[in-house]
């Protein structure tokens, strides 16, 4: 089955009770038993819920995995991966990282004795220097947020496999429409389903997908034992979102390209970060591992003025000034004061998150309206 068909039908079948094409929202905590232990596969909704199962089956299908788990947020999914580790273990992570992931790693898990190395991974050979016998996990985000660096997943997987280290990829920005990390050698794919998978800015959710039963069992144990699951209503909404993922992503990519090209021609713009440009430093890797270049575009203005950047994001009308990304509507954010405010100024500037950086999540509206909005805001 090809990808577009999978988004609609992958691992899905009509509900067994009445043949409903979409699964019912099983709004229940518990399930009647005929005799102790005599049940139909469901006992308690933290452990499993049929609506969540339908969604998890869809997650596994679109990422070409065998098992998937849905969580109450993307960070809850990342939290579950880190709980595979123990005190003394080490993690090598992408340095240009989602701010909340950085906070979870440094403010929570460092306190439990896990050591993190934040490394520029655009050249995968950089990873090798940080590997020792305590290294248990490589954490990759690509494209990175918000600098749009691209990391070669296949090359990272070769390093990870050679040293018997788990490779996890945060696939939130690309989605499986653009790249499928398990096929490129990753062990775990993580999503903030809050973004493109849900796609309508109405659910906070996370997902993990794997292709190995042993690893799935360990993660399922953590999901159930720690309990950060999502509810049946949210599961239904994200399942519905996935069914249009491919057509939404196609339009996100078209509009992203149009916006990136418009900004690049604008005399007040300094740099546009979008992996589709041929002179983007990792364009060749992006071209090789992604089907298209996505709807995320970042840019800086000439003079790198903080107040000017704030002025632009405040003036935008169709682009809503808001955190988050990946919904049908266009959003604009100012990382230095919003998503990346929890990263110390020195650390964030090292990765390129300067004062004038603006990040756009380009939605699926008409391209002409989006460009006219940018034009009136930038001046």
Ligand X SMILES: *Cc1c(COP(=O)(O)O)cnc(C)c1O
Residues acting as catalytic residues: 46, 98, 170, 195
Span 194-233, contacts to ligand X by CB under 6 A: 194-195, 204, 206
Closest separation between CB of residue 88 and ligand X, Å? 26
Q: Cα separation of 358 and 91, whole Å?
A: 30
DSSP 72: S
- The verdict on whether omega for the bond into residue 146 sits within 30 degrees of 0, i.e. cis, is yes
Q: Cα separation of 79 and 324, whole Å?
A: 19
**Per-residue contact string for residues 293-332; x = within reach of ligand X by CB under 6 A:** ----------------------------------------
* Of the residues 172, 180, 255, 289, which one makes contact with ligand X according to CB under 6 A: 172
- Does the CA dihedral 96-97-103-104 come out positive or negative? negative
Quick one: which segment of 1-9, 59-67, 73-81, 275-283 binds ligand X (CB under 6 A)?
73-81
Q: Which two tokens stand for residue 338?
A: 């919003």
First to last CA, the chain: 48
- Where do we find the tokens 């918000």? 146
Quick one: which segment of 5-13, 152-160, 168-176, 296-304 binds ligand X (CB under 6 A)?
168-176
* Of the residues 74, 181, 198, 333, which one makes contact with ligand X according to CB under 6 A: 74
Count of residues touching ligand X (by CB under 6 A): 16
Q: Cα separation of 258 and 254, whole Å?
A: 6
Span 44-63, contacts to ligand X by CB under 6 A: none
**Per-residue contact string for residues 120-159; x = within reach of ligand X by CB under 6 A:** ---------------------x---x--------------
Q: Does 118 bind ligand X (CB under 6 A)?
A: no
- Among 279, 275, 256, which residue's Cα sits nearest to residue 361? 256
102 or 262: CB nearest ligand X: 102
Span 75-104, contacts to ligand X by CB under 6 A: 75, 98, 100-101
Query: Are 208 and 65 in contact, with CB atoms under 8 Å apart?
Result: no
Q: Cα separation of 262 and 266, whole Å?
A: 7
Span 253-282, contacts to ligand X by CB under 6 A: none
Closest separation between CB of residue 41 and ligand X, Å? 28
Q: Which two tokens stand for residue 5?
A: 């068909």
78 or 127: CB nearest ligand X: 78
DSSP letters for 24-66: P----SB---SSTT--SS-SBTTT--HHHHHHHHHHHHHTT-S
- Where do we find the tokens 């991966």? 81
Q: Does 361 bind ligand X (CB under 6 A)?
A: no
- Where do we find the tokens 């998150």? 353
Q: Does 340 bind ligand X (CB under 6 A)?
A: no
What residue ranges bind ligand X (CB under 6 A)?
A: 73-75, 98, 100-101, 141, 145, 170, 172-173, 192, 194-195, 204, 206
């Amino acid at each position: 089955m090809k990808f577009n068909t999978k988004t609609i039908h992958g691992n899905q079948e009509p509900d067994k009770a009445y043949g409903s094409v979409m699964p019912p929202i099983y709004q229940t905590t518990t399930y009647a038993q005929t005799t102790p232990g005599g049940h139909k596969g469901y006992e308690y909704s933290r452990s499993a819920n049929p609506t969540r199962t339908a969604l998890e089956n869809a997650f596994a299908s679109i990422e070409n995995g065998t098992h998937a788990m849905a969580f109450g947020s993307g960070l809850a999914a990342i939290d579950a991966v880190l709980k595979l580790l123990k005190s003394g273990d080490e993690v090598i992570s992408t340095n240009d990282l989602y701010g909340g992931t950085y906070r979870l790693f440094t403010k929570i898990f460092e306190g439990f004795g896990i050591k993190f190395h934040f490394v520029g991974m655009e050249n995968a050979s950089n990873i090798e220097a940080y590997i020792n016998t305590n290294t248990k996990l490589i954490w990759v985000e690509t494209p990175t947020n918000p600098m749009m660096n691209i990391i070669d997943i296949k090359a990272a997987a070769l390093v990870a496999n050679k040293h018997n280290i788990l490779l996890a990829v945060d696939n939130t920005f690309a989605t499986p429409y653009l790249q499928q990390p398990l096929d490129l050698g990753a062990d775990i794919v993580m999503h903030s389903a809050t973004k493109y998978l849900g796609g309508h800015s109405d659910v906070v959710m996370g997902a993990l997908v794997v292709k190995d039963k042993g690893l799935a069992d360990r993660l399922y144990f953590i999901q159930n034992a720690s309990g950060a699951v999502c509810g049946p209503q949210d599961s239904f909404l994200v399942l519905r979102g996935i069914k249009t993922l491919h057509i939404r992503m196609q339009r996100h990519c078209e509009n992203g390209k149009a916006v990136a090209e418009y900004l690049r021609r604008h005399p007040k713009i300094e740099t546009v970060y979008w992996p589709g440009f041929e002179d983007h430093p990792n364009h060749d890797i992006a071209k090789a591992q992604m089907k298209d270049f996505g709807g995320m575009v970042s840019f800086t203005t000439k003079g790198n003025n903080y107040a000017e950047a704030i002025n632009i994001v405040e003036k935008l009308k169709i682009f809503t000034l808001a955190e988050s990304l990946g919904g049908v509507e266009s959003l604009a954010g100012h990382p230095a004061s919003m998503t990346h405010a929890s990263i110390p100024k020195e650390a964030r500037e090292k990765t390129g998150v300067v004062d004038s950086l603006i990040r756009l999540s380009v939605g699926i509206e008409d391209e002409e309206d989006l460009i006219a909005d940018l034009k009136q805001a930038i001046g």
